[in-house]
Amino acid sequence: MKSQEAVRQRIDELRELIRYHNYRYYALDDPEITDAEYDELFRELQALEKAYPEFASPDSPTARVGFPPLEAFETFEHPVPMLSLENAMDEGEMVEFHQRVQKLLGVTEPIVYTAEPKMDGLAVEILYENGRLVRAGTRGDGYRGEDVTPNVKTIRAIPWSLYAHPEAPPIPSVLTVRCEVYMNRQDFHALNRQREADGEPVFANPRNAAAGSLRQLDSSITARRPLKAYCYGVGVLEGPAFQTQWDILNAMKRWGLPVNPLSRLCDGLAAALDYYRDLEARRADLPYEVDGVVYKVNRLDWQERLGEKTRSPRWAIAYKFPAHQAQTRLRDIQVQVGRTGVLTPVAHLEPVPLAGVVIRRATLHNMDEIARKDIRIGDHVVVQRAGDVIPEVVRPLVEKRDGTERPFTMPAQCPACGGPVVRLTGEAVHRCMNRNCPAQIEGALRHFAGREAMNIEGLGKQIIHLLVERGMVTTPADLYRLTEADLLKLPGFAEKSAQNLIQAIHKTRRPELASFLYALGIPLVGTYLATVLADRFGSFEALRAARYEDLIAVEGVGDKVAESIRRYFENEDNEKLIRDLFEAGVRPKEATAGKTPQAADEFWKGKTVVLTGTLSSMTREEATERLRQAGARVSSSVSAKTDVLVVGEKPGSKLQKARALGVAVMDEEAFLKHLP
């Protein structure tokens, strides 16, 4: 029999061996032993720790199986905001980015870029203090994220302690690392097969599977999911100084952090474009989903000189791959009713595999879009996943028509309530005008309870449907009047689940001001503008009392937004909802001013823009308003001072004049992608 000391030494030896082989496998991508040999070491350690619990350690590699379940995720502020990236959708936009960087830097020499595959996963930030992992959180809105430390600790690729490599710079005293958590295609399909066999709903795609796995309150569930990660940058770094982005990637790799081995240095624009073409050609053969290439100016001093725009750095861009496309048949067009009464036509398709998922439905936006594309029920159509996420119908295959196809007409009565459907002057959408429409009520409740709004855990679509169907809830304020006894009347509820939901609802009585504003569903006020308004006015009472002149003075708030906010607070039904919420004990916190960036998107700021042709997504007036909100000057004629011409359907002579003058021309798709 082994002595206690011999057992302890063997356990320590196994832990160090496993950590070393994890480093070889995940950080260096250069394993020294087979998977079977690794598993043998791991099982031996598990057996010894089970037989000798007195030698258990929270730092052991075997502790990655999970931690005690949480009741809810805590939120935290990112010390350095996790900004979005500007997108380039074609080679021309990539060239424009490169030229813009050269101009801003005032250099003509070749610019060296780092290039990395743009992983289709979930962004997280990991905090290391003196080399030890102390916190990990999701990106969230870029300023606040959710603390998912126990879950990230279950990912084998993520080291709990950084490795002091002899050739690496000293480990920083404080380091925040940005990573993308993802799931390989093969693991994703295996997980879905298991869930299907267990009678559980399957995930739509690997990204959803990774996100759903990382946001489990019970980390033992996360531990059973095959999550992986690649690190791509840093936020806070208190320690050695670096000269380039490439130096940071190499240091992270030597510290034991996983860095994508396909990352490259590209000396100039031509090399960057070659990398893009090469990766696109290999895309289908990669074990994971990628949707483009991320380029960053390599020199850190140049990154600092270039700085950031409102939501994205000027020194980086994501050059997206073209969307995956497939052909199928459009079986039917049905209408969905949203929370504001908008009727959205949805294409019901013959199931078709596309980019790792099966597509059955796709949005058609509105009647103008259907008419513009001449889409008919029964058509063979081309579908794509825009941004590799949202399915859409690109065009009909007219050559395959046999005469059985039929046009779609918008119903005159709402399919949810039978109320009248109208199309208001100047709008591209049809609306149900019945404020008591159950579909609108359910949509408003889902919006109110959503993660970016009040974030009521456990209040999902099916429960909301039951509450509305039974007449128990008609407004968000009714949620706060529910009791456990009410919920026990609903199918599927037991005492514990009823208690949990009531507690989850009551926990949201003191929301952040921005979350509360967004939850109210004020037209034209999204999450970002809600944050800007909260920061500017500080309290709900101050915003509610704000005059039109006060609102219009806020950067990013144009005429239509200001009018929309004033109309919302002047509406009697909305005022009643607010009173009812306050009477139910809901009181938003006061905001701390000065933390949010300015709202106007720097892409448009200061530019002179001209519109020509008909836009399918909005009226000319709406487009003009959106551009002005973003800081652009909208002109009626093209001249040498015009920066951008936005082109819709059937453009006039302005297009020829713009081309003759060398003015940048942007189609509607690119225009929408650049809007804030």
Q: Could you list the residues known to form a binding site, using ranges.
A: 35-39, 84-85, 116, 139, 180, 296, 320, 414, 417, 437
500 Cα distance to chain centroid: 28
Binding residues for Zn(2+): 414, 417, 437
The string of DSSP codes covering 223-284 is HTS--EEEEEEEEEEESS--SBHHHHHHHHHHTT----TT-EEEESHHHHHHHHHHHHHHGG
Helix axis angle, 513-520 to 527-537, nearest 10°:
130
Task: Tell me the sheet residues that pair with 646.
Answer: 611, 666
Find, among 471, 466, 453, the residue nearest to 497 by Cα: 466
Q: Between the CA atoms of 229, 231, 237 and 241, what dihedral angle is there, to the nearest 10 degrees?
A: 150
Instruction: Determine contact, residues 324/392, Cβ cutoff 8 Å.
Output: no
Alpha carbons 285 and 590: distance in angstroms, whole number: 51
Q: Is 253 a catalytic residue?
A: no
Find, among 192, 203, 193, 65, the residue nearest to 122 by Cα: 203
Helix residue ranges per DSSP H, 470-610: 476-479, 484-487, 495-506, 513-520, 527-537, 540-545, 548-552, 559-570, 572-583
- Cα of first residue to Cα of last residue in the chain, in angstroms, is 69
Binding residues for NAD(+): 35-39, 84-85, 116, 139, 180, 296, 320
Alpha carbons 102 and 652: distance in angstroms, whole number: 34
Alpha carbons 277 and 400: distance in angstroms, whole number: 33
- What are phi and psi for residue 211, nearest 5 degrees? -65, -45
Catalytic residue among 103, 118, 576, 641: 118
Give me the sign of the Cα torsion angle 406, 410, 413, 414.
Answer: positive
DSSP letter at 153 equals T
Alpha carbons 411 and 318: distance in angstroms, whole number: 41
For 50, counting Cβ atoms within 10 Å of its Cβ (0-12 exposed, 13-18 middle, 19+ buried), the class is: exposed
Instruction: Determine contact, residues 500/458, Cβ cutoff 8 Å.
Output: yes
Instruction: Determine contact, residues 496/453, Cβ cutoff 8 Å.
Output: no
- Active-site residue list: 118
